[in-house]
């Protein structure tokens, strides 16, 4: 072998042993095996519906299996902790209502993972605003009537809370209106919806996507949606803002994240794939019809949102003096 060829071979071997080269190769070969999406909630909820929809499309696109791994529990922290500790190679992703990450630092000072530093944002998937929904028999038809009824019947407005996200949303509404809703905790959105539609509790908030079937069967009434504008799927439901409650926008922000230190090129490839899927007319139509807004943003934009939302909920927890037993 000529000296120049030997030098090139030695240089190539040296480069191949460097971490940067290894990361580049990893990204170039990604994906070459099954991808797991950890869903930090039980089957049938908003996160699960989205994971199965996106997983199927991603599998079709890349020709690799996409496995859905439901890990509910501890206000979604079980699934989040599992994903945070997974190998940072892009083959384990987390899909959840990101309020788990933005409220967690204020509510749970002893978390086994760090919501701020243990994840690499991939993309925000959708926003489905909270619907302020009441039992069909409650004699109110809008937020102003709800506030008046609450003040005339102190201690009788029972709020079916499915998570700390809805508990804090209720706390914000209490602070803004002077209501005093009594929090009744339930294990997940499905239980809270069943309890409220059956009259066990008389008001709840959940994503419009999950509430819509129960609005159609008449068991629940939607007084308002907590979005900036009326939703295309239900244009007759006013916003909470229209009722005079300022700056009240809350709901289920569903996001996809990878473990921290996942190679940036892998994150970029994941982002591009999911954004392409979410922006197809078929998926857009399907999600909008179910009361969701497709976001499909960049990792940088998603990361900035997480920071801003964490600061917002830190203030709400402090102002409402909310304590959570761990």
CATH code for position 182? 3.40.190.10
Residue 16 lies in a domain: no
Per-10-residue mean pLDDT of the chain, 326 residues long, equals 64 59 69 96 85 97 97 90 97 95 88 95 94 96 96 94 86 91 85 92 90 89 94 92 91 95 98 98 91 94 95 85 68
**Do 160 and 133 belong together in one domain?**
yes
Check residue 12 and give its pLDDT. 65
Determine the Cα–Cα distance for residues 116 and 310; give it in Å rounded to an integer: 9
- 80: domain CATH number is 3.40.190.150
When divided into structural domains, the chain yields a total of 2
pLDDT of residue 86: 98
Same domain, 276 and 211: no
- Output the six-digit token pair for 63: 């020709």
| Residue range of the domain that includes 223 | 129-243
Classified as helix, coil or strand, 124 is strand
- Which residue among 212, 243, 274 closes a domain? 243
Is residue 288 in some structural domain? yes
Structure confidence at residue 313 (pLDDT): 85
Is the previous residue joined to 31 through a cis bond, with omega within 30 degrees of 0? yes
Instruction: Please check whether residues 134 and 236 belong to one and the same domain.
Output: yes
Q: Which of 243, 271, 299 is the last residue of a domain?
A: 243
Final residue before a domain boundary, out of 243, 271, 291: 243
Beta strand 293-294 with 182-185 is: unpaired
Q: Are residues 260 and 237 in the same domain?
A: no
* pLDDT recorded at residue 210: 82
Q: Answer yes or no: is 259 within a domain.
A: yes
Burial of 27 (0-12, 13-18, 19+ CB in 10 A): middle
Same domain, 237 and 136: yes
Q: Where are the alpha helices (DSSP H) in the chain?
A: 3-16, 19-29, 46-62, 77-84, 99-107, 143-152, 164-177, 189-197, 208-216, 264-278, 281-289, 299-320
């Amino acid at each position: 072998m000529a000296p120049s060829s030997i030098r090139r071979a030695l240089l190539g071997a040296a480069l191949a042993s460097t971490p940067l080269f290894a990361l580049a190769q990893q990204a170039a070969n990604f994906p070459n095996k099954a991808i797991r999406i950890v869903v930090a909630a039980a089957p049938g909820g908003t996160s699960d519906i989205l994971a199965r929809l996106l997983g199927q499309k991603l599998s079709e696109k890349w020709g690799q299996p996409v496995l859905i791994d439901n890990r509910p529990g501890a206000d979604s922290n079980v699934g989040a902790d599992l994903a945070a500790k997974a190998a940072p190679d892009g083959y384990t992703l987390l899909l959840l209502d990101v309020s788990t990450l933005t409220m967690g630092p204020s509510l749970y000072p002893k978390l086994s993972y760090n919501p701020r530093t243990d994840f690499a944002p991939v993309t925000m998937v959708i926003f489905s605003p909270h619907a302020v929904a009441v039992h069909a028999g409650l004699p109110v038809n809008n937020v102003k009537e709800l506030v008046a009824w609450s003040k005339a019947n102190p201690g009788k407005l029972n709020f079916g809370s499915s998570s700390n996200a809805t508990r804090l949303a209720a706390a914000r509404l209490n602070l803004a209106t002077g209501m005093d809703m009594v929090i009744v905790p339930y294990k997940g959105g499905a239980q809270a919806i069943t309890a409220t539609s059956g009259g066990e509790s008389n008001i709840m908030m959940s994503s419009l996507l999950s509430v819509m079937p129960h609005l159609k069967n008449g068991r629940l009434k939607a007084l308002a949606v907590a979005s900036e504008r009326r939703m295309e799927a239900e244009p007759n439901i006013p916003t909470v803002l229209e009722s005079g409650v300022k700056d009240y926008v809350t709901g289920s922000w569903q996001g996809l994240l990878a473990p921290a230190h996942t190679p940036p090129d892998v994150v970029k490839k994941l982002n591009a794939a999911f954004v392409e899927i979410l922006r197809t007319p078929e998926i857009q139509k399907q999600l909008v019809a179910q009361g969701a807004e497709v976001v499909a943003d960049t990792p940088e934009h998603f990361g900035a949102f997480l920071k801003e939302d964490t600061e917002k909920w830190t203030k709400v927890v402090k102002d409402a003096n909310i304590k959570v037993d761990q």
